Structure 1
Amino acid sequence: MFKIRPHLQDQYPDVYTPEVLAALTALAPFNKRIKEVMDARMKRRSTRYQTQTQINFLDPSTTIPGTSINVQDARDGKFEGAVIPPDLQRQWIQGTGPAAKPNASIENSIRNVAYALLSGADGWMFDGEDALGQVTSMSLDNQRNLKLAIHKDPIFLKVAEQVANEMNRWAESFLGHQTITNWQEQLTFTTKIFRARGLHLDDRHIRDADGVAMAASIVDTTLYVVNNYQALQQAGSSIVLYLPKIQTAEEAGVWNELLSALESHLNLMVGTIKVYVLVEQLEATHQLMEIRAVLGKHFVGYNTGRWDYINSVSDAMAWDKDFVNPNIESITMTYGYMRNYEDRVRRAVNTPDINGNFALWQGGMEPNIPVGSEAGVSASMAKAVAGAEREQREGASGKWVAHWKMVHIVRPVWEKVGEANQLGRTFPRLSYTQQDADALILLEPAPRDIRGARNLLSVALQYGNAFGQGMQAAALKPADFFGNDDILYLMEDMATGEIRLSILWEWLHKQAVLTEADEEMNIEAGSVFSESLYKALLEQEYDKLLKATNKDVFETSKTTTLPIAREIASDYVLSQEKAPWFIDLLNINLNNMDLAEAKDRIQFFMYSLIRNGRRITENVDFSPSLI
């Protein structure tokens, strides 16, 4: 059995239904297996650091760990994949974002879902992971709102009608025409997709029979699927998930077993649940065909994100003193290792399975929001469209946007072409040489300067602050651009904070050489990024946030979550032992506003990591004896 935090079943009986509780009981045994593969992940990471070796490809003569599938057979397409269902055949634009707001009433919180389903996006990935705040019981609010919307509850329909009018007023002012003619019909247009949390995270509210925190993947998947599968099927919709942070085919195999067990429990055919996999980890790029093969009839496609992937490369190469990233702005999808990563993904999806089925490639995130000066918006929108055109040319069947206002700006790129997708477009088969492995960590010359460091630090601090306030998706920009409407805010989620601190950690601990001079800091080109320089920049950037208006930094946060965000960021960057996930240090301080307590929790986490190689991933407020 399992244990739920006190009072939550009474507060969320519509989420923790008897059917959900029965399914959680059936799937609870997977918790032990998930913990095992996560321990194996940490051991691989530790071994790489100790032996100073890069990630490489699997031996083609072996079987994929945890399965009976031969590696070479997977690479050759000798497996049975999925036929792409009708409602996923055309996914030109998928929006992303959470279905809930922090500390908000249902009527206010559920507006997020209304904006999404009225946006005109072909699909919307409602986020349970990087963009969803986890303060209090927000993950359950997210599930409740999705259930109300999918079942077309009167509460949701009332809000949707109001939101449709607001969206049309904006569209008339910005696009010159309305985008919603019949709001009730529009609600049926967008495919509903849910992103569960990765295997590396624990649920904050449930522990298993042994008192071990339940893997968030089990909880998120069960709550979403069990509460909504019948309503989705009755509406003729697929049950679709995004799976994040997978590093190996073995981990994908655990997901496959979990999904198959849930389907069996619900008397659904194997493969009823369809999944996209976010390629967010360097190790996964070495096992793309193997991951496809293991997920079999569940798998429909890959997504190429940017921020998470950069973070994974930085972490995987933390041992290599010569691997030092440039300014984050330089690491676009056409940069060195990113270009080669994207190329492998498009080759993998266009390799047929044993029945000739191909898979989808969904392009990466467009983080811009069309709010700012006329010049700023015009320049940013042109850049967004150009990015979409590039991905379409390269073979993507669609892309992501982070804000509903971007849908009708970017979607025309695919509308003009008119093809539903690019399934089966011809690309060379994947190869598995040392040269291929080296290309996946290819650095190219690019600036590394004080301006870049300021941007990394400012946004990382702001993101940590937003996280503590319950906003894991937040519109941010560096403090030096506050009040400058020519520089637009970008929608940032968990990954953007992680990669910024990862790069700062690299620069400091690998003694990065700065390529540009800086008069303000009296720095010459060729200077080393030192601890004293980092601390000086931290003081300056933090002071800017303290002086910012409430528009950019909530006044109440300046004595609560902002000092904690600073403590976390600095401990992460200064620690000789690189923490694998920034989110761990944020999660351990969720709902905590006391700086002294935060320091104790950070010290506890880092001690466990350094001494035992163990991440603290459970809710310490659920288990206060931990600290």
Structure 2
Amino acid sequence: MSETPAGVQVLGGAVERGDEILTEEALEFVAGLQRAFGARRDELLARRKERRAEATAKGRLDFLAETRHIREGDWQVAAPPADIADRRVEITGPTDRKMAINALNSGARVWLADLEDANTPHWRNVVSGQVNLYDLVRKQIELTTPEGKHYKLRDDVKHAVPLVRPRGWHFDEKHILVDGKPVVAAFVDFGLHFFHNAKELISRGSGPYFYLPKMESHLEARLWNDVFTHAQQELGVPHGTVRATVLIETYPAAFEMEEILYELRDHSAGLNAGRWDYLFSVIKTFRDSDKYILPDRNSVTMTAPFMRAYTELLVRTCHKRGAFAIGGMAAFIPTKDPATNEAAMGKVHDDKKREAGDGFDGSWVAHPGLVPICFEEFDAVLGDKPNQIDRTRDEVSVTADQLLSVADTPGEKTIEGLRAAVDVGVRYIVSWLGGNGAAAIHNLMEDAATAEISRSQIWQWLHNSVVLAGGEQVTADLVREVLADTEKQLRSEDGFPVDNLGRAVELFEQVAVADEFVDFLTLPAYEEID
């Protein structure tokens, strides 16, 4: 381990090549971010609780009166850098070495290098992910597995451009202390990548590009903008070199899209429309209200009225301001069963066709096998154009009531939906505790958002005394009964890793049944690892 700066403690153990990443200078840079901005982060987290209390009291959210001048103003975000002007296909995944190589070789235009929801923050993962980013930026990333299989960057494809997703504002990194306090995890993930790779990326004709998750307000975007400005000044990187795409995956953020773009306008690379995290946030924001109760999660599609309003507003907002609008995830993993593949691929085609037709500039896939489908649907709309930012969707006008129209969502609440939520939630937590945050479950690539929507939906049904379509009332006893059945079934399933199953069941029960709603299940889960 390298020397540590004054006031900095590294509590994590040794990780292969970790001394190349956790240098004294890099840790000093991260500590500078913590000292300059940590208190503001804390204030913004406290503000989240205050705003939720206000929303609960009012029974609604709305566009902000105090920022009307921004929504009505005449401004644009900075023009996109040349290497990410065309983002029609983006692939997502953790910074695992093999998956990183496969993502860069996939043919996709962009790779979302995920240090957040698809990455369990074991200390080894946190550091090795930075090692892998260091190597891939320099095109020196290779891997030989114990079985003798060799992975390296191919010369016959254009490699995907990495956009790094740090952890959200709510997360602290317990393995690094600055002045006796855990450092904000986002400062670790952003800071180490920026410190080691920003100038190298610039020298190669690219730049330090990011995805920003879980934000709830334009003030949180302002903080990120100030972090970017500070980081660029500290390292002598030109202002505006950093570019960031914001995931609009919280309910409050959907009412502040223009303001978020405005705060980041010198550093903006647009907005993204997700799904599971957004639904999770809908439930979390109004979890005590019977006006926002969703049906079975798999029946809530992107064509539900309130989801349609959200995506239409996102495209309109982005293109009005000259910014990218990026669509959501196709999570299917191709299988050896032709019938399953055909049905799933048809749904992926339909989903990407809808997004391209709506004006999105690109979309996400979770597996290299879906890259050609996404290209096919976006090529049909974009042709030789790099994007369709010039399609401003002036005809779109979305009201707050339309964004709030959750009660109009078709679908039923069923015992099968409850069982499915428990099953996938427990399976995911088992994987997460074992160090794999990108889990293949029932032919879908799942990340932490899957478990969040599963447990939060059960919490909502339970605490609102929902009666299911078959007449069963959701009670704590019913949830525990389904949990017990699920645990028994998983223990008998061939090949299922049961080492963490007991802890996963306990954790799921804690966050699904407890009187107090835990903001993020990954926070108590984090205390269970390392």
> What TM-score comes out, normalization by structure 1 length?
0.79
Alignment of 1:376 with 2:340, yes or no, is yes
Counterpart-to-counterpart distance in 2, 1:540 and 1:465: 16
Q: Pick the aligned partner of 2:125 from 138, 150, 155.
A: 138
Q: Which residue in the other structure is 2:506 paired with?
A: 567
Amino acid at match of 2:71: R
Q: Do the aligned partners of residues 503 and 261 (structure 1) sit closer, same or farther apart at CA in structure 2, a change above 3 Å counting?
A: same
Alignment of 1:435 with 2:418, yes or no, is no
Q: Which residue in the other structure is 1:542 paired with?
A: 487
Counterpart-to-counterpart distance in 1, 2:28 and 2:519: 34
Q: Pick the aligned partner of 2:155 from 184, 188, 195.
A: 184
Amino acid at match of 1:549: D
The correspondence of residues 106-121 of structure 1 with structure 2, limited to 5 A, is 110-121=97-108
Alpha-carbon contact 2:118-2:448 (below 8 Å) kept: yes
Alpha-carbon contact 2:143-2:151 (below 8 Å) kept: no
Listed as ranges, the gaps of 5+ residues in structure 1 are 63-70, 101-109, 165-181, 353-357, 478-488, 518-525, 592-627
SS in 2 for 1:470: coil
Alpha-carbon contact 1:57-1:432 (below 8 Å) kept: no
Q: Do the aligned partners of residues 307 and 438 (structure 1) sit closer, same or farther apart at CA in structure 2, a change above 3 Å counting?
A: closer
Alignment of 1:86 with 2:52, yes or no, is no
Deviation digits for residues 3-60 of structure 1 (CA, Å, limit 9, x no counterpart): 22165599612112344123223322211111111122123234444x353222211x
Q: Pick the aligned partner of 1:31 from 18, 30, 38.
A: 38
Deviation at 1:72, TM superposition (A): 2.5
Q: Which residue in the other structure is 1:124 paired with?
A: 111
Deviation at 1:501, TM superposition (A): 0.5
Q: Which residue in the other structure is 1:608 paired with?
A: none
Q: Which residue in the other structure is 1:336 paired with?
A: 305
Deviation digits for residues 172-196 of structure 1 (CA, Å, limit 9, x no counterpart): xxxxxxxxxx92252x531111101
Q: Which residue in the other structure is 1:408 paired with?
A: 372
The correspondence of residues 225-374 of structure 1 with structure 2, limited to 5 A, is 225-352=194-321, 358-374=322-338
SS in 1 for 2:155: helix
Q: Pick the aligned partner of 2:386 from 413, 420, 423.
A: 420
Amino acid at match of 1:281: T
Deviation at 1:581, TM superposition (A): 1.2
Alpha-carbon contact 1:348-1:429 (below 8 Å) kept: no
Counterpart-to-counterpart distance in 2, 1:80 and 1:306: 27
Amino acid at match of 1:369: I
Q: Which residue in the other structure is 2:449 paired with?
A: 495
Amino acid at match of 2:516: E
Alpha-carbon contact 2:310-2:403 (below 8 Å) kept: no
Q: Which residue in the other structure is 1:616 paired with?
A: none
The correspondence of residues 459-474 of structure 1 with structure 2, limited to 5 A, is 459-474=424-439
Alpha-carbon contact 1:26-1:265 (below 8 Å) kept: no
Alpha-carbon contact 2:507-2:525 (below 8 Å) kept: yes
Amino acid at match of 1:124: W
SS in 2 for 1:275: strand
Q: Do the aligned partners of residues 238 and 224 (structure 1) sit closer, same or farther apart at CA in structure 2, a change above 3 Å counting?
A: same
Alignment of 1:391 with 2:362, yes or no, is no
Identity %: 29
Q: Pick the aligned partner of 2:183 from 200, 214, 223.
A: 214
Alpha-carbon contact 2:306-2:403 (below 8 Å) kept: no
Counterpart-to-counterpart distance in 2, 1:36 and 1:430: 35
Alignment of 1:584 with 2:523, yes or no, is yes
Alpha-carbon contact 1:77-1:289 (below 8 Å) kept: no
Deviation at 1:80, TM superposition (A): 5.0
Deviation at 1:322, TM superposition (A): 3.4
Counterpart-to-counterpart distance in 2, 1:464 and 1:414: 34
Deviation at 1:405, TM superposition (A): 2.2
Counterpart-to-counterpart distance in 1, 2:395 and 2:245: 21
Alignment of 1:156 with 2:142, yes or no, is yes
Alpha-carbon contact 2:422-2:454 (below 8 Å) kept: yes
Which moves more between the two structures, 11-20 or 535-544?
11-20
Alpha-carbon contact 1:135-1:469 (below 8 Å) kept: no
> What TM-score comes out, normalization by structure 2 length?
0.93
Q: Which residue in the other structure is 1:16 paired with?
A: 22
Alignment of 1:445 with 2:410, yes or no, is yes
Alignment of 1:194 with 2:164, yes or no, is yes
Alpha-carbon contact 1:91-1:122 (below 8 Å) kept: yes
Counterpart-to-counterpart distance in 2, 1:7 and 1:571: 29
Alignment of 1:57 with 2:26, yes or no, is no
Deviation digits for residues 582-604 of structure 1 (CA, Å, limit 9, x no counterpart): 1112112113xxxxxxxxxxxxx
Deviation at 1:565, TM superposition (A): 0.7
SS in 2 for 1:301: strand
Q: Which residue in the other structure is 2:3 paired with?
A: none
Deviation at 1:435, TM superposition (A): 3.0
Q: Do the aligned partners of residues 582 and 52 (structure 1) sit closer, same or farther apart at CA in structure 2, a change above 3 Å counting?
A: farther
Deviation digits for residues 393-427 of structure 1 (CA, Å, limit 9, x no counterpart): 11111110111222123322122331321102132
Which moves more between the two structures, 21-30 or 297-306?
21-30
Q: Do the aligned partners of residues 45 and 585 (structure 1) sit closer, same or farther apart at CA in structure 2, a change above 3 Å counting?
A: same
Amino acid at match of 2:264: L
Counterpart-to-counterpart distance in 2, 1:421 and 1:432: 23
Deviation at 1:233, TM superposition (A): 1.2
Alpha-carbon contact 2:271-2:324 (below 8 Å) kept: yes
Counterpart-to-counterpart distance in 2, 1:373 and 1:432: 42
Amino acid at match of 2:374: V
Amino acid at match of 2:379: E
Deviation at 1:295, TM superposition (A): 0.8
Counterpart-to-counterpart distance in 2, 1:573 and 1:308: 16
Which moves more between the two structures, 492-501 or 541-550?
541-550
Counterpart-to-counterpart distance in 1, 2:247 and 2:12: 34
Listed as ranges, the gaps of 5+ residues in structure 2 are 1-6
Counterpart-to-counterpart distance in 1, 2:398 and 2:151: 50
Q: Do the aligned partners of residues 586 and 9 (structure 1) sit closer, same or farther apart at CA in structure 2, a change above 3 Å counting?
A: closer
